[in-house]
A and B are shown apart, each in its own frame.
Chain A
Amino acid sequence: MYKYDEIDQAIVDERVAQYRDQTRRYLAGELTDEEFRPLRLQNGLYIQRHAPMLRIAVPYGMLSSRQLHKLADIAARYDRGYGHFSTRQNLQLNWPKLEDVPDILAELATVQMHAIQTSGNCIRNITTDQFAGIAPDEIIDPRAVAEIMRQWSTFHPEFALLPRKFKIAVSGTKQDRAIVQAHDIGLEFYRDSDNKMAIKVWVGGGLGRTPILGSVIREHLEWQHVLTYCEAIIRVYNLHGRRDNAYKARIKILVKALGIDEFRKQVEAEWAYLKDSPNTITEAELQRVAQYFTKMPYDTLPAHDASFDSAIASNPAFAAWVKRSVHAHQQPGYRAVTLSLKPHGRAPGDATSEQMHVVADLAEKYSFGELRVSHEQNLILADVRLSDLFSIWEQARAAGLATPNIGLLTDIICCPGGDFCSLANAKSIPIAEAIQQQFDNLDYLHDIGDIELNISGCMNACGHHHIGHIGILGVDKDGSEWYQVTIGGKQGNDASIGTVIGPSFAAEEMPGVVQRLIDVYLQERTEEERFIDTVRRIGVAPFKAHVYAKKEAAHV
């Protein structure tokens, strides 16, 4: 993964000094709350329900063992011994003290980490596929360009105060796992007819209050021009995006208002001036950064491992875990492993300091000292030998990290919700826990099969509920908490936004509602169908009818 040189290090060190002084001025009364707000937000610091929340950047989801050990130590020393991995692949601390934040940032800087632009109206952390560099369906490893873009977007002077937040995702696989269509800019890497790296550029996607999938603004962009092309897009947005109404300030609203053709015209006119300017990426710079993302020094291994095969045959619990948690790899004899942060009855995405140390040690011992965070809020060991899987499973299981539910109903994607977040309309974690308890039977979960359930505590959609096969949105009605249900949302190349099935439900109804949705699926499915396939084939009506059927009718 990328390693800082003295230039990168100077920037994070200077940032610590700058933020330390901003905090000092705020505490001394030289900055008002309103003036400090954009400054602290650009450093990932929210003022929340109980305490500030600090969001630490994990660029495109990559961490080293050393970094994760440091995060574990910070969570233990400055927080309550745990952290929350978010759907943006970042780590959030729920209980830091505002006056400790400069010290936390100084600690992060010692392991080449920061909290720059993890919040606020600026270009946020760039996200990608958690299997970048190892996925068998990968065409281009997008991480080198993602790192170049991280650097370019860091304190970009023209885009420091945009109308609203701005999220970029990159993907280089056949099957999109980075949700490029649900980002302000989505960059889909491919090889063009000359076998050169090229990019299909999506713009104007986003979830939140107004969920919209992006439009293609350019089918073919040569990689050298990605920075200047993004500058053209963001400049048009910066000048013309709506600042008068925060709910209409995202780029998707501007794209929709102008229409993609007019928006494209304006961007291309701007780009005509910017194209080939010095921010055009050179071959040398790409190569310099790409050196950090070369293949790991793999051993040459056979495609099969006898000890692994026999463990599968003799240990059903291990076999069940492998089935859900172990993923194909480009390199023979290697696999990627997802460690579940979704044990039943716990807040999805949370990890204790002890668990972080365990994962960091596992990565050190079995996976070249690196790991990844997925937008599904789990941790990934990307480069593991088949013969090590059994040991990893035993150690992960002892630490509560081996729930064999990856991709199943209880692998719930969930924001922190009303328990922590001051934006939330409703709690989300207790809903997730109640659903996990309702479906606390692994055989049954495996029978239900692949399904994605997403929960957001408010319109901001941090839990990506619009693209959940089942999506749950917390809403406020006359001061009490209700839950609106959508079905048929999906991430990926054939992404879709879910359809609301009807009036919302009280919290205690939610496990039963999910149960009824699953009942319809189990009754209607054909052998090959996943939940989402059945919804797409038969439509929302049968699900709606069963969920809202009168209780007595349901027992007939």
Chain B
Amino acid sequence: MSNLILGTSIVEDEWNLVRLPVLGEETVRKQAGKVVLFKLTGEKTYSEEQIAATVIPATGKILAPLSLWIARRGELESRLAAGELAIWLDTHEVLADLVSAFDDINQLPLIAVHVERFADGRIFSIGNLLRTRHGYQNTLRAFGDVLRDQLFFLKRCGFDSYLIRADRSAEDALASLKDFSQPYQGAVDDKQPVWRRVSRQPASQP
């Protein structure tokens, strides 16, 4: 069964995820004896060899990494024109690189943001900026370490699609989209803070 939520429904994923291949052994970075769990914003985490070695599926809808588009654009232009290209980026990648790589990001029917770890809240600012600053109007998907307890926040930051981690139930996760009925602050999904949304009268003394 599919683990992909679009809006408030579970749907089949029609996009074929393209990843950069792992060449050789991945090195584990350590700092002060501890494994480094997060990559720095702007850190380059792939090599030209990886991009060169990436196999682009010949047909169908593909969800390709931003770095692949930037380096091998010529091979992907026709797919973009056919509506068969979507782009994903990591939370440590710089959003400006995505925006400047397209004449209009709304040419993309889907942008997906990969969150490697639950605790990486950069994904929220990225979603917000895509929607508010860059006017992205099509499907915005979160994938990676996506668990139900992020969903309410992701939704409020402009995401409308969530690929729940494979070992968890997307069905259960749907409930978390409704965790709070009337949040305080304005955000992407509802720009009005509660005091502009409803009339709040002073409460009577308890």
* Chain A interface (Cβ < 8 Å from any Cβ of B): 3-5, 7, 10-11, 14-15, 18, 22, 35, 38-39, 66, 112, 121, 151-152, 154-163, 227, 235, 238-240, 242-245, 247, 273, 277-279, 282, 284-285, 288, 291-292
In the complex, B135 has a CB within 8 A of chain A? no
Given A7-B200, A121-B119, A278-B186, residue A157 in contact with residue B157 (CB < 8 A): yes
A35 to B133, CA, bound (A): 32
In the complex, B205 has a CB within 8 A of chain A? yes
Given A5-B203, A244-B38, A245-B32, residue A157 in contact with residue B195 (CB < 8 A): no
List, in ascending order, chain A residues with CB within 8 A of B9's CB: none
- The one of B39, B119, B185 in contact with A38, judged by C-beta atoms closer than 8 angstroms, is B119
The answer on a CB contact under 8 Å between A292 and B122 is no
In the complex, B179 has a CB within 8 A of chain A? yes
The answer on a CB contact under 8 Å between B32 and A152 is no
The answer on a CB contact under 8 Å between B180 and A11 is yes
Which one of A160, A162, A163, A243 has the greatest number of beta carbons of chain B within 10 Å? A243
A277 to B185, CA, bound (A): 11
A160 to B154, CA, bound (A): 10
Given A5-B200, A7-B194, A282-B196, residue A238 in contact with residue B184 (CB < 8 A): no
Chain B interface SS verdict (over half): loop
List, in ascending order, chain A residues with CB within 8 A of B149's CB: 22, 39
The answer on a CB contact under 8 Å between A10 and B182 is yes
A525 to chain B, nearest CB (A): 43
B37 to chain A, nearest CB (A): 8
The answer on a CB contact under 8 Å between A277 and B124 is no
In the complex, B206 has a CB within 8 A of chain A? yes
The answer on a CB contact under 8 Å between B195 and A161 is no
A109 to B194, CA, bound (A): 20
The 6 sampled A-B contact pairs (Cβ below 8 Å) are A14-B180, A38-B119, A157-B154, A160-B153, A243-B120, A288-B201
A259 to B82, CA, bound (A): 47
The answer on a CB contact under 8 Å between A278 and B153 is no
A156 to B187, CA, bound (A): 8
A163 to B92, CA, bound (A): 13
Given A11-B180, A14-B179, A35-B147, residue A159 in contact with residue B124 (CB < 8 A): yes
List, in ascending order, chain A residues with CB within 8 A of B133's CB: 273
A291 to B202, CA, bound (A): 8
> B residues 12-38 with Cβ under 8 Å of A?
29, 31-32, 36-38
User: In which size bucket is the chain B interface?
Assistant: 35 or more
In the complex, B1 has a CB within 8 A of chain A? no
The answer on a CB contact under 8 Å between B31 and A245 is yes
Given A38-B119, A244-B38, residue A292 in contact with residue B184 (CB < 8 A): no
The answer on a CB contact under 8 Å between B179 and A18 is yes
Chain A interface SS verdict (over half): helix
B95 to chain A, nearest CB (A): 8
Chain A residue at minimal CB-CB distance from B187: A157
The answer on a CB contact under 8 Å between A288 and B200 is yes
List, in ascending order, chain A residues with CB within 8 A of B155's CB: 157
Given A152-B193, A161-B120, residue A7 in contact with residue B182 (CB < 8 A): yes
Chain B residue at minimal CB-CB distance from A151: B184
* Chain B interface (Cβ < 8 Å from any Cβ of A): 29, 31-32, 36-41, 118-122, 124-126, 128, 132-133, 147, 149-150, 152-157, 176, 179-187, 191-196, 198, 200-206
A11 to B194, CA, bound (A): 12
A238 to B122, CA, bound (A): 6
A160 to B118, CA, bound (A): 11
A157 to B198, CA, bound (A): 20
List, in ascending order, chain A residues with CB within 8 A of B37's CB: 243-244
- The one of A158, A243, A282 in contact with B124, judged by C-beta atoms closer than 8 angstroms, is A158
B177 to chain A, nearest CB (A): 12
List, in ascending order, chain B residues with CB within 8 A of A273's CB: 132-133
Given A157-B124, A244-B39, residue A151 in contact with residue B182 (CB < 8 A): no
A277 to B204, CA, bound (A): 31
The answer on a CB contact under 8 Å between A38 and B200 is no
List, in ascending order, chain A residues with CB within 8 A of B186's CB: 277-279
The answer on a CB contact under 8 Å between A157 and B125 is no
The answer on a CB contact under 8 Å between A239 and B147 is no
- The one of A15, A121, A155 in contact with B184, judged by C-beta atoms closer than 8 angstroms, is A155
The answer on a CB contact under 8 Å between B157 and A278 is no
A444 to B196, CA, bound (A): 58
List, in ascending order, chain A residues with CB within 8 A of B194's CB: 7, 151
A159 to chain B, nearest CB (A): 7
The answer on a CB contact under 8 Å between A7 and B198 is yes
Given contacts A5-B202, A18-B180, A243-B120, 11 further A-B contacts (CB under 8 A): A3-B203, A14-B179, A38-B119, A157-B153, A161-B118, A161-B124, A238-B124, A239-B125, A240-B41, A242-B40, A284-B195
